[in-house]
Amino acid sequence: MTWMKASMRRKGVGLVSLAVIAALAMPVAGQAQSIGYDGGGSAGAGIGSGGQGASDPSSGKSGRSDRRSGRGGNKGGKRIDIVPYIEVDQIVTAELSPGSDVMTYTQAAVGVDAAISGRNNGASVSLRYERQFGWGKRARDGDAISGIARGYTTIVPGVTFEAGGLATQANVGNGGSALVGSGVNDKYKTSIYSVYAGPSVTTRAGDLDVSANYRAGFTKVEQSDGFRANSGTGAADVFDKSVTQMADVQAGFAPGTVLPVGVGAAGSFYKEDMSNLDQRARDMQARALVTVPVSRTVQVVGAIGYEDVEVSSRDALRGEDGIPVVGSDGRYVTDKSGPRELAYDVSGLIWDVAVMWRPSRRTSFSAHVGRRYGSTSFGGTLGYAPNDRTQLSVSVYDNVGGFGGQLNRAIDQLPDDFEVVRDPITGDLRGCVASLDGSNCFSSALGSVRSAFFRARGVSASYSMKVGRLNAGLGLGYDRRNFFAARNTVLASAAGVVDENYWLAAFLGGELGRDAGWSTNVYANWISSNDPLVGDVNGYGASASYYRMFTPRLRGTLAVGIDGATRDAPAIDDFWTASALAGLRYSF
């Protein structure tokens, strides 16, 4: 076991972070709902923070507390499922293009899948460590940690605590474009870790409703050796790590209490500190809110206030020849003695008008338009669950932040009751989870890992269904990032760059009797950029697997898959591989 201990020490940051998540398994703003969706509460929500605040209609938080109470309606029952496992697989992978190599690997893995649900607590965790042993000189040894966790706990009535985490791999190219990890032990894979946690509070003082929440997050990208700068060239513009903080507070009177309309006030704060060139994003705002009930199921919310958004950084340390200094880690060395340079600075009046429709606990809709970030901003959410076997979730968003903040937001939006969707050969996460509760995908956050801050606008949709023995899910979306960079720094070339990511992830599976089953999944990313040095990158993949239980704890699996990546650069060949797996898993 020496090799496993050494490898796990190297991956310590991700493993420890996710272990903490698995132990805590706790939550957020489940109580910090978007007032107006849930009927009652304070005056309503119009303009939210750069993060996913309690008062952001585009935050997707609508109905989370209702969904929890719905699951909590298990008559006080409690479910705890913790399933550790060990797995041994034999894998053959064949390069289809541009070469024709055939390589063989033996893969050993350990992991745990856990689910906890009750009246006041809920969590889902899937954590996996795997080690590949290559046969022959060209098949390299390697290891990886992957996992995802989301959960919450109620400390006392009105006070909850949430935590979430993600560990995954991506194939990062020049300029920071990131495709879903593909292939067995791909030497160009980059590990990505992200965790967050924080409390939420809701209370009442007479007719006054008060809600507040705070969350802190950390994200780290372990840049592969393949992307470190060569001698005499600049470092790759790839995110390193950041610390994110988000806070919201809102107080107000619901319609029909002190006035026929609801009135209130709210404030929010978002800050992300990035290690690359000491970059910093800060978004502060305060606003007044008025809620006008139109009917039993429709409300109109107006908000007006003031915001101050600022993005800044330092320059790279320069050598005597004026060339930026690159450290041993392949990243620019920050000139700590230099002044901070503004990359983005917007302040002034903001306003927002939102329409919210909630005809039942199974349907919620909101749409809002206003002025933020010095221009028109719009967004909205749709949640529809016609029965206990089907759900649709759509979110349109607009925010400012960095890669770490965007990934924290994506994890925050995942449900706390899910089953992980993994590639049956590599064990990699596939961009979505299987759940009949809320937004189920995080692919939109992974399209680009540039180090600069950006304004992100896009749409994300997920659909899940369970019919008899069949489970199916589909996620798709579009993410557009407009990057900011200080003109007087080494990152100046990133200013005005626009990256666009269209993505798709789908799965379909079912049971074949009591002791067997099957699953399939597909994914695709289409990433384009107006950066002339990057170009368009596309990634595709599909897999199918069959499993059979030999004993109640021993499972055998057969799987096949194909993965590919294409680029519009004529000098770069398309890359395609096909793989097959035969393995055994023992669950404890």
* The pLDDT of residue 556 is above 90: yes
Alpha-carbon torsion angle 505, 540, 187, 580, nearest 10: 90
What are the residue boundaries of the structural domains of the chain, listed by start?
2-94+102-194+204-219+240-587
- Residue among 326, 325, 380, 329 at smallest CA distance from 352: 380
Range with the poorest average pLDDT among 230-244, 347-361, 444-458, 572-586: 230-244
Among 25-29, 215-219, 234-238, the minimum mean pLDDT is found in: 25-29
Report the distance separating Cα 441 and Cα 428, nearest Å. 14
pLDDT given at position 369 = 95
How does the average pLDDT of the chain come out, rounded? 82
Mean pLDDT confidence for 370-391: 92
pLDDT of residue 175: 65
Strand ranges inside 415-553, DSSP E: 419-422, 429-434, 454-467, 470-483, 498-511, 516-529, 537-549
Quick: pLDDT tens for 452-494: 999 999 999 999 998 888 999 999 999 999 999 988 888 888 8
- The predicted pLDDT at position 186 comes to 63
Higher pLDDT, 40 or 366: 366
Cα dihedral angle (347, 28, 432, 468), rounded to 10 degrees?
A: -140
Pairing mode, if any, of strands 429-434 and 454-467?
unpaired
Report pLDDT for 53: 32
Task: With a cut of 80, say whether residue 372 has pLDDT above it.
Answer: yes
Q: How confident is the model at residue 450 (pLDDT cuts 50, 70, 90)?
A: confident
Q: Is the pLDDT of residue 273 over 90?
A: yes
Which tens digit of pLDDT belongs to each residue from 498-534?
999 999 999 999 999 889 999 999 999 998 888 877 7
Confidence at 100, pLDDT banded by 50, 70, 90: confident
Average pLDDT on 394-413 reads 92
Kindly indicate the confidence band of residue 97, based on its pLDDT and cuts at 50, 70 and 90: confident
pLDDT band for 17, please (50, 70, 90 cuts): very low
Task: Give mean pLDDT, residues 30-58.
Answer: 31
Q: Is the pTM above the cut of 0.85?
A: no
Query: How far is it, in rounded angstroms, from Cα 434 to Cα 561?
Result: 20
pLDDT digits (tens, 9 = 90+) for 320-357: 888 888 887 778 889 898 899 999 999 999 999 999 99
- The gap from C-alpha 419 to its chain's centroid, in whole angstroms, comes to 16
pLDDT for the residue 282: 96
Whether pLDDT at 169 is above 50: yes
- The lowest-confidence range among 163-177, 241-255, 491-505 is 163-177
